[in-house]
Structures are given as C-alpha cells and as structure tokens.
A and B are shown apart, each in its own frame.
Chain A
Amino acid sequence: MPNSDHDRLKFLDRIAFAHMTRRGLLGAAATAATVAALAPGLRATKALAADDTIRFCSWGGSIQELQRKHVLEPFAAATGIKVVEDSLPLPSRIKAMVDSGNLEFDVVQTDLLTILALEKSGQYFEKIDYSKLSPAAIKGIPEHLKLPNAIGYLYWSYNIGFRSDKFPGGAPQSWKDVWDTKAFPGKRTLASADGGQYPSLEFALLADGVAKDKLYPIDVDRAFASLDRIKPDVAKWWTSGSEVIQLYTSGEVSTGSTYSGRILTAKTEGAPVDLSWNEGQASLDYLMIVKGAPLDRAMKLIDALLQVEPSIAIFNEYNAGPANADVLAGLKEGRAKELPSYPDNLARMYVQDSQWWADNLDAIIERFNEWVLL
C-alpha cells in the first residue's frame, strides 16, 4: 500500500525481534501463523468489540494520521462511539481473525486482491448496506467501485520511476524505454515476489509491445521471456516502498518501477526523482467490514470515512487518489493532477485485474522464485 511502509517495516522489525528472542526457533511469519493457530485455544478471552466501540484498521503512517485527525476523532466526538485503531490489515491477519472468531478490527481499508484471495477459501467480509450511506458522500464514487462487500476508497499505483538527474536527454516514458538499457543506461529495479509484492508481469508485456487493454489474461510465458531480457540489469527486486525509494536516492538504480505516492513524497522533499504516469498500474483500496463485526457501528464509520469534506482535507496532503470524483474536484488548486485518480493520469494507466491475480498468484510466485533463484 502506498505510504504504509514505515509501519510495515516497524511491524517486520517487531516480528523479527520477537523471533530473535525465541532463538530462531520460528520463522518470523511462522510466529504469525502460530498466534493465529493459538487463537481458537483462547476463545475464552475472545475480545468482542464493546457496545460503544468500533475498531478500524488502516495502513499506519501519514494516511492513518490524517484519517485520525479528519475523521476518527471528530466521529468519536460526534457519536460517542469510541474508535480503536489498528494498522496493517494483511490478508493473513484477516484470515486468522475470522477463522478463530476473534476479531481485532471491524472496518478495514485494503485492496481488492486481498478480498479475492481470501474469499477463495470462505466468507471473510460482511455485505455493505448502501442504504445506510449518505447519498451526498457516495454520489461521486463510480458505480463499478460499489461492490457488494467493498466500496472504492482510494487509488494508488505502480509507475515508471527514474532519477531526474541521470537522463539529460529525456527520461524513460514507457516500459519499452525502461527495458532499453542502451538508450537509458543504469541499473533497474522491479517488484519482487516477497513482502506482499507481485512480479511485474504486466510491465514485462507492455515492454514487449502488448497493448495495455490486451494484458489480461496474462500470457505468462511471454511475460517471463520479456523479464529474461531485463534480468541481468535488475540490481534489486524491491519489496517495500521505503526500499524502492532508497534504491533510487542512493544511486543503486536509475529507473524501474515504484509506488507513485512514495516517489512523489521523495520528490517533494527534494530528492532528484520523478515518475511517468504512462503505462502505470492503478490499484484500489476499498473499505470493507470484517465478517462478524458490529454492522450498525461499522456502517456509521464507513459513512464518516466517505464524507467529502474530510476526504478533501486528507487527499490535499496524502499522495493517493480519491476514488470519489467530488473529492477530487474539491482539492486545492493544482493538486488533483499530481494524483493517480486524476482522469488524465488514470487514462494513461490500466487497472490491475485482481481476479486474474487471485486465481494465479500461487503459481506465478512459485515460478518467479524459481526463475530468480535457479
């Protein structure tokens, strides 16, 4: 997710530290699985949300600070409902919570692939009751983003990133350019298959000349053949937003892929980096209700999160694109065109086919690992 990596890394550090103190008996992730497995045994301590409480899980960092300031605190003050916050709604956490009947949060912000991957093995989310949402708050959200159990909230994206000081004759503007190491010298970085990332098969196809409306279903063999050509020039397959920005700012790579939010933040802070919106991949974060959560309060919180005015305040500062056209239109002068959901930017990108990825994820990750390692 866009700017969550600080917290993601804090989380990794926490589990890494926890497993160090266990003298390495458990892999970091196994610790998570263990906690999940332990949960059914501790049902006696089942922590149901108290009657006056709703629990919200976002991605930490600046997005959650802004949500707290503009939505959660005013919501708690106005309704008397206490909001308990959590961060990092990894699919594994949602699976563990729902499987054990021991919820840690009720309302969650995450992407479609999380929903689809989870729902391959059961029901993990409640239906959204659209009659409980204020019409003014959702009229700017396109109909195709109003799913039965999720409502579109913000766009984030993967784009072509580059060092603005390394290409005096013009920076890469397409994946073909990124693949062309003669015209655009320097090492590359693309997403790995670790840390919640997925291999950039679509970018590989675009570099090979596939049109962006013909990407799905992905021709996997062709994509890997294209990746073969760039592999010797990839210095590092990145796993997190903080890492990819470090790769650009420390000079390890000159171009490759990146999160748009991360690189825009680095650019604002004065780093010699920039992005191209061309042939980027837009992904959406939705708002969802975890199975078994208190519906009434959950719907109230979602309604508060979707309100136009507080959302404008959030997206004036946070580098992701509001899914709501009314929010986009209300942003301060010149702001909207810096964001992935600005129509002109969105038109240059494609939207990830999350269903294809949910269906093929395991096989692709296995193949990518073999391709990289062997």
Chain B
Amino acid sequence: MTDVRRRRGSLVDALRSDERLLVLPAALTLLVFFVVPLAMLVGISFSGDTPLAAYRKFFGSAAAMKILANTVTIAAVVTLVCAVVAVPFSLALSRLPPAYARLALLGVTLPMWISLLVRTYAWLYVLAQEGVTNAALEAVGMPGAPFPLLFNWGSVTVGMVHILLPYMLLPVHNAVTMLDPQLMRAARSLGAGSLRIFATVILPLIARGIATGAILVFILSLGFFVTPQMLGGPRNTMIATYIDVMTNTTLDWPRAAAASTVLVLGVLVCFAILSVLSRKQPQAAP
C-alpha cells in the first residue's frame, strides 16, 4: 500500500520539489546578501579586545543608553501619531465614492516617490524661523512669532510621521475596506451611538490592521537616520546616528556592530510580537 501511494504521489512530489526549487533564488539571495552579512556583523560585534568588550562599552555609556531610550520613545510616539491619523482617515476614505477614495489614497502614497531627503529638507524651510509657517503667523499678527519650531522632538515627529504614515495607512485602510457595513447598521439599529460603534465594533475588527501598521512603523522608526539628524536638536539623537559616528568617525566597528546587533534584536522581538498577535487575533467576520 505504501508502495502504491508512493508511486501515485511521485508526480505530485516531483512538482512539490520543483516548487521548492523556485524558492531557491530568493533564498540564496537572502542568504548571501542578508544572512551572511548579518552573521558577519554579529561576528564583528564580538571582535573587540575581549568578546564582550564592545557590548560592555555600549551598555556602559550613559550617552548610548540615553540614545537608545530616545530611539524607542520617538519610535513609539511616531507610531501612535500615525495610528491616530490613519484610523479616522481610513474611515473617512471608506465613505467616499471609490474614484475619490483612490485619488485620496494616491495623494497619501505619492510622496513616497519623492526622496526622503527632499521631504526632510522641505520641512526645514516650512518650520524655519524665517520659513513659511512663521511668516504666515507673523502676517496674521500672532503675538510671540516667530516661534522656534525646529530642532526639537516636535519637528522630528512631524518629519517622521510624514514619511511613515503610508506604512500605517495601507494596512489600516485594508482592514477598514473589509468591514461589513451591515454590522454597523445592526449596531445602530440596536441603539449604539457612533462612539460605542467605533469602540465595540470597528476598533476590534481593524485592530489587526492597526497592529500590522504599528509594527511596521515602529521598526522603520527605530532605524531612522537622516530625518532626526536634520530636524532634531542636540538632545534628539537616535541610534542610527550613533552607529554612523562609531563606523565613520571613530572607526570603532565592534561597538558600531554591537549597537546594530542590539537594534536587530529589538526588531526581531517586534516581529515575534507581530506573529503572536496575528495568530491570536480572530479574523474579521466574513
């Protein structure tokens, strides 16, 4: 019997192994250009005077710890702001006629085609002392203008949210389009107000979309380099800048690699949380 099965299955098996072969180019590319370099990076992090010297230096530096805390905090704030903007925006989109909704979505994703650097530079001129915003405030006679709008957490957050919003918006929008309008109608007919409908019907159903977006935005935020360096002030240093200084200025590669490894581990933890979340969350009702 097993023989028969094996013979009958041989074609299917052959096909299966062919399918497996199809994964090979991608797997090899990842191996050579990602897994191996990453392993080497981890290797470099242990190549200091003693294997753990680089980590000891990294964790022993008060500045590095402050920078690590900065990085996690700003990533969390940016994620929160993106979610707060993306959820109402997606709900509004779902009310628009499809043609307008597509246009509005395009409006949000189009900036992704513009260089990150150009967009960051644009913020410098929008928020500068003699920039557009302050000129407008002065023109309407706002007392106290011009305000120092640049080089603080506010300007860093604005710049990063502008760049990262699409990563939150697209998964949330996806979840919102899968909402069954009948559920909302049913809830309303049973007497629920708008806020109650949002909290008890909509939010639980789109939570997975928000979680996906949140993890994406959070992970991308952790590695941000140009935006905090240009829009941030002296106290707004993030870890990518620190790694850059260790790599390019002091040439302390073990410590740069140690900081990178810590960052990579942080990201892996986020991915683990994401996969647990996606397993636990029930699918939206069909």
Q: What is the interface of chain A, defined by CB distance below 8 A to chain B?
A: 9-10, 12-13, 15-17, 19-20, 22-30, 32-38, 41, 90-92, 95, 117-118, 121, 192-196, 198, 234-237, 239, 243, 246, 250-252, 361-362, 365-366, 369-370, 372-374
Stretch at the interface among B4-12, B84-92, B195-203, B228-236: B228-236
Q: Give bound CA distance, A80 to B147, whole Å.
A: 60
Residues on B with beta carbons closer than 8 Å to the beta carbon of A198: 249
> B259 within 8 Å of A by Cβ?
yes
Residues on B with beta carbons closer than 8 Å to the beta carbon of A374: 62-63, 66
Q: Give bound CA distance, A32 to B128, whole Å.
A: 32
The interface residues of chain A, by DSSP majority, are classed as helix
1/0 contact trace for B55-92 toward A, CB 8 Å? 00000011110110000000000000000000000000
Stretch at the interface among B36-44, B173-181, B204-212: B36-44
- A to B CB contacts below 8 Å, 16 in the list: A19-B223, A20-B220, A24-B267, A25-B38, A26-B223, A27-B240, A29-B248, A33-B253, A194-B229, A194-B241, A235-B233, A250-B131, A252-B150, A369-B63, A369-B67, A373-B67
Residues on A with beta carbons closer than 8 Å to the beta carbon of B240: 19, 27-29
Interface residues of B in 240-280 (CB under 8 A from A): 240-253, 256-257, 259-260, 263-264, 267
Whole-angstrom distance between the Cβ of A108 and the nearest chain B Cβ: 15
Q: Give bound CA distance, A370 to B248, whole Å.
A: 19
For B33, give the chain A residue with the smallest CB separation: A38
* Closest 7 pairs between A and B when the two form their complex, measured CB to CB: A24-B223, A251-B130, A30-B260, A250-B128, A37-B40, A29-B247, A369-B63
> B111 within 8 Å of A by Cβ?
no
> B109 within 8 Å of A by Cβ?
no
Residues on B with beta carbons closer than 8 Å to the beta carbon of A24: 219-224, 267
Are A90 and B129 interface neighbours, CB within 8 A? no
Are A250 and B130 interface neighbours, CB within 8 A? yes
Q: Give bound CA distance, A374 to B67, whole Å.
A: 10
For B71, give the chain A residue with the smallest CB separation: A27
Q: Give bound CA distance, A13 to B219, whole Å.
A: 18
A35's contact among B37, B220, B248, B251, by CB below 8 Å, is which? B37
Are A372 and B235 interface neighbours, CB within 8 A? yes
Whole-angstrom distance between the Cβ of A166 and the nearest chain B Cβ: 11
Are B41 and A37 interface neighbours, CB within 8 A? yes
Are B66 and A373 interface neighbours, CB within 8 A? yes
B244's contact among A28, A117, A236, A250, by CB below 8 Å, is which? A28
Query: Provided the pairs A13-B116, A95-B251 are in contact, do residues A27 and B230 lie with their beta carbons within 8 angstroms?
Result: no
Whole-angstrom distance between the Cβ of A43 and the nearest chain B Cβ: 14
Q: Give bound CA distance, A312 to B113, whole Å.
A: 42
Whole-angstrom distance between the Cβ of A28 and the nearest chain B Cβ: 4
Interface size bracket, B side: 35 or more
Residues on B with beta carbons closer than 8 Å to the beta carbon of A10: 117
Total contacts A to B, CB within 8 angstroms? 190
Are A196 and B62 interface neighbours, CB within 8 A? no
Are A28 and B62 interface neighbours, CB within 8 A? no
Q: Give bound CA distance, A26 to B44, whole Å.
A: 14
> B239 within 8 Å of A by Cβ?
yes
Residues on A with beta carbons closer than 8 Å to the beta carbon of B225: 12, 15-16, 19, 27-28
Query: Provided the pairs A33-B257, A34-B38, A118-B251 are in contact, do residues A366 and B223 lie with their beta carbons within 8 angstroms?
Result: no
Whole-angstrom distance between the Cβ of A374 and the nearest chain B Cβ: 6
Are A193 and B116 interface neighbours, CB within 8 A? no
Residues on B with beta carbons closer than 8 Å to the beta carbon of A370: 61-63
Are B237 and A20 interface neighbours, CB within 8 A? no
Are B129 and A251 interface neighbours, CB within 8 A? yes
For B232, give the chain A residue with the smallest CB separation: A236
Are B243 and A30 interface neighbours, CB within 8 A? yes
> B124 within 8 Å of A by Cβ?
yes
Residues on B with beta carbons closer than 8 Å to the beta carbon of A366: 61, 63
Are B234 and A234 interface neighbours, CB within 8 A? yes
Whole-angstrom distance between the Cβ of A6 and the nearest chain B Cβ: 11
> B148 within 8 Å of A by Cβ?
yes
Residues on B with beta carbons closer than 8 Å to the beta carbon of A17: 115-116
Are A236 and B63 interface neighbours, CB within 8 A? no
> B100 within 8 Å of A by Cβ?
no
B247's contact among A33, A118, A192, A239, by CB below 8 Å, is which? A33
Interface residues of B in 18-66 (CB under 8 A from A): 33-34, 36-38, 40-41, 43-44, 61-64, 66
> B151 within 8 Å of A by Cβ?
yes
Residues on A with beta carbons closer than 8 Å to the beta carbon of B223: 19-20, 24-28
For A27, give the chain B residue with the smallest CB separation: B243
For A113, give the chain B residue with the smallest CB separation: B249
Residues on A with beta carbons closer than 8 Å to the beta carbon of B253: 33, 36, 92
Residues on A with beta carbons closer than 8 Å to the beta carbon of B67: 369, 373
Residues on A with beta carbons closer than 8 Å to the beta carbon of B247: 29-30, 32-33, 92
Whole-angstrom distance between the Cβ of A199 and the nearest chain B Cβ: 11
Are B37 and A194 interface neighbours, CB within 8 A? no
For A371, give the chain B residue with the smallest CB separation: B63
Q: Give bound CA distance, A194 to B33, whole Å.
A: 28
Whole-angstrom distance between the Cβ of B172 and the nearest chain A Cβ: 18
> B226 within 8 Å of A by Cβ?
yes
Residues on B with beta carbons closer than 8 Å to the beta carbon of A373: 63, 66-67, 234-235, 237
Whole-angstrom distance between the Cβ of A114 and the nearest chain B Cβ: 10
Residues on A with beta carbons closer than 8 Å to the beta carbon of B239: 27
For A361, give the chain B residue with the smallest CB separation: B250
Are A362 and B252 interface neighbours, CB within 8 A? yes
B151's contact among A23, A34, A236, by CB below 8 Å, is which? A236
B243's contact among A9, A12, A29, A239, by CB below 8 Å, is which? A29
Are B234 and A236 interface neighbours, CB within 8 A? yes
